[in-house]
Homo-oligomer: A and B are copies of this chain.
Amino acid sequence: MEPTPTPGRPVRGSATGRPVMAALDLLGRRWTLRAIWELHRHATPIGFRDLQRRCDDMSSSVLSTRLTELREADIATQTPDGAWQLTPLGEDLVTAMGPLLDWSRVWAERRG
């Protein structure tokens, strides 16, 4: 499996290891942003299968991979009983995504 993108190390699409490139690599993998979004929406720790259902029944193999990446990146974490939730850093990420969500609504309007 590809290593989890980490700032300071070369990543997919950039040899420099600049933080933004590592972030774009990590977040650009399929289902990653969606999983983060669903973790945020649920607000309390959530189990694997429950999270999977909320992500339109995405493949369990990919979900498992994504959660491992998010844990290694300090964006998500597991409670002692195994349920998943965002870390403070993960919540900050969701906040940082806010303007992007606003933009997507404008985008939708201008193309409707």
Contact = CB atoms under 8 A, between A and B. Distances in A.
A9 to B, nearest CB: 11
Report whether over half of chain A's contact residues are helix, strand or loop; otherwise say mixed: helix
Q: Kindly state the interface size class of chain A when it binds its partner.
A: 35 or more
Copy number of this protein in the oligomer? 2
A50 to B, nearest CB: 17
Interface of A: 6-8, 12-15, 19-24, 27-34, 37, 55-56, 58, 73-74, 89, 92-93, 95-108, 110-112
9 contacts: A14-B34, A19-B107, A23-B103, A28-B29, A28-B32, A73-B107, A89-B107, A96-B99, A98-B99
- Of all A-B residue pairs in the complex, the 8 with the closest CB atoms, nearest first, are A7-B108, A19-B108, A23-B104, A96-B103, A96-B99, A19-B104, A20-B104, A96-B100
